[in-house]
Amino acid sequence: MIMTKLNDLLKRHETWRPLIIALSIIVVIAISHKIYWETTAETNPGKIWDGKTFSIVDLGEDENQIWRIKFNQEVDDKIVFKGVLETSPRNEVYQNFTTGGFIESEGLVYTEDLYGKTMLNVGGMRILVNGNLSGEFFESEIITIRAHLVENTTTFQNGPNNVTLIREGWEAEPEDIQLASDTDYYFFGTEVLILLFGTYLYLKNMRHLRNQLNLIWHLAKFEFKSGMKSSRMVILGLFFSLFIIGIGWVLGDMQGANPETSFFVENGNHALLQFCFFTFFVVSLAAIAVSVDAFHKERQTNTLNMLLARPITRESIVIGKALGLTMVVGVPAFVAQLIGLYLMILEGDIPAISGILAFLLFGQVMIFTMVTFQLCFAVAARSGTDVVIYGLGAWLLFAIVWNLLVYAISFVIGIELTEGFETNPEYQALASHLGLFNPGYVYQFAVGLLTHRTIAIDMGGIPGWLVLLALVLWPLTCLRASTWLFKREMKG
């Protein structure tokens, strides 16, 4: 029954068949990926840490005390943990401390032999690494670590009592730690290859592909030339270019500000993230403004019927227009971003090169997303006023009031919005997840991700690959929605 239905579906969408098959295989690989980690590693280290028992064996007033920390596992057990580095290893290396004190959160007594070792916090689990990992691994990176359970005994003075601590703890060697992405890349690589192959076959199945690509380019060039000549774009372009350049310079300058003030920007990478937000702030408005006329005005001036009578598909018209309008905003934005970056670097640190490239490249993706998003309104709206109102509404939501929305949802689901709530992990997780529904945040996340050396990064509760997936899905979904709406018109 299901197979028959599936066959019918594939027959109906024959052109899409390779892509559907490719996506199905990717889903299977993604599930296998998940199963692989679930079966080869402990993906919830915090659960094991929280499962330990702590007991005090009190032998009397004048006697010594015996404290015991015990895990459910057997001593000498080896487990591969997979989790996020909750704190920076740089701050977790034992140095300059007073010996003899018992630290409950780490489950050990500070002794001299800890010097130079690192106490990692992997997803809430404390693992003692026999080496200095400062600069080797960084906060938020997702790692795998092969640790074994050891037992040792330490005595220390706890007030009037002599305490003997019999502790079990997890220890590892520096060579037992790896970035999770070392394995993830095999899965992701295979998935990307399958997707590319499926896309290639899909495109090969499409009739008149080369011809349609030429027409898309023809239309895009026309849109670009018309857009660049429009007075609206001249004014907007000038405004947003100056804004971007100015912000670049200011963000560079703010890196040298007093750390106590709110005008302080930590480093180049941090400045780059701020730069993303401000770029989105103005560029998305420009993208919406230039896309307003795309279909509605053409319909009013009857140029659309002239265009529809040409041998170009409706999909190609939408893609051509989207590409052209993206260039109208994207070209001046790219130039402004370059100048802004130059000024930022001149005044401050150099951000990661991958971050800079992502800032420029993903910026164009973000503009394309906003253009296609607005094209949905431009196609579907009944009047010009509707297009403008919907577009401005979307911009206000994404660029201005998004945080208010996050606050409101946090409040509704019971996250306390008291002082310092922004560092509350629950709030951060909610904000990150909701951020995936905002192209501006996706842009910021994606650039932030690429300022790291790996995509195995936890970004406030969401993995790096999900950010990249969102970055790809946003423009594709908007493009598909606008072409679907435009094609629906053919039905009358």
C-beta of 142 vs 215, nearer to other proteins: 215
Cα(118)–Cα(91) distance, rounded to whole angstroms?
Answer: 9
Looking at residue 73, what DSSP letter applies? S
Which x/- pattern over 201-240 shows residues binding other proteins (rule: CB under 8 A)?
Answer: ------xx--x---x--x---x---x--x-----------
Give yes or no for residue 492 binding other proteins (CB under 8 A): yes
19: nearest Cα among 195, 250, 141: 195
8 Å CB contact between 411 and 316: no
Distance CA 57, CA 455 (A): 47
Q: Which of 7, 85, 82, 84 is nearest to 38 (CA)?
A: 82
- 3-class state of residue 166 by DSSP: strand
Within residues 430-459, the interface with other proteins by CB under 8 A covers none
Query: Among the candidate windows 95-103, 138-146, 273-281, 304-312, which touches other proteins by CB under 8 A?
Result: 304-312
- Where in 272-301 is the site for other proteins (CB under 8 A)? 298, 301
Only one of the segments 125-133, 249-257, 310-318, 434-442 lies at the binding site for other proteins (rule: CB under 8 A); that segment is 310-318
Q: Which residues of 152-167 are buried (b: 16+ CB within 10 A; e: fewer)?
A: eebebebeebebbbeb
Binding mask 8-37 for other proteins (x = CB under 8 A): ------------------------------
Number of residues that bind other proteins (CB under 8 A): 24
In angstroms, what is the minimal distance from the CB of 310 to other proteins?
4
User: CB of residue 476 vs other proteins: minimum separation in angstroms?
Assistant: 19
CA angle 216, 220, 223 (to 5 degrees): 140
Does residue 310 bind other proteins (CB under 8 A)? yes
Please give the C-alpha separations between residue 474 and each of 362, 380, 406, in angstroms, as whole numbers. Answer: 12, 19, 20
Nearest CB to other proteins, comparing residues 413 and 490: 490
Distance CA 10, CA 20 (A): 8
Shortest Cβ distance from residue 180 to other proteins (Å)? 41
Nearer to other proteins, 85 or 485 (CB): 485
Which residue lies nearer to other proteins by CB, 191 or 298?
298
Is 428 a binder of other proteins (CB under 8 A)?
no
Q: Is 141 one of the binding residues for other proteins (CB under 8 A)?
A: no
Euclidean distance between CA atoms 36 and 29, whole angstroms: 10
Least CB distance from residue 464 to other proteins, whole Å?
A: 34
Dihedral angle of Cα 236, 241, 247, 248, to the nearest 10 degrees: 160
In the list 23, 29, 308, 392, the residue contacting other proteins (rule: CB under 8 A) is 308
Q: Strand pairing of 142-158 and 177-179?
A: antiparallel
Tokens of 227: 């857009």
Q: Which of 303, 383, 385, 403 binds other proteins (CB under 8 A)?
A: 303
- How far is it, in rounded angstroms, from Cα 429 to Cα 89? 22
Stretch that binds other proteins, among 29-37, 132-140, 306-314, 429-437 (CB under 8 A): 306-314
User: Cβ closer to other proteins: 312 or 479?
Assistant: 312
Residues that bind other proteins (CB under 8 A): 207-208, 211, 215, 218, 222, 226, 229, 298, 301-306, 308-313, 490-492
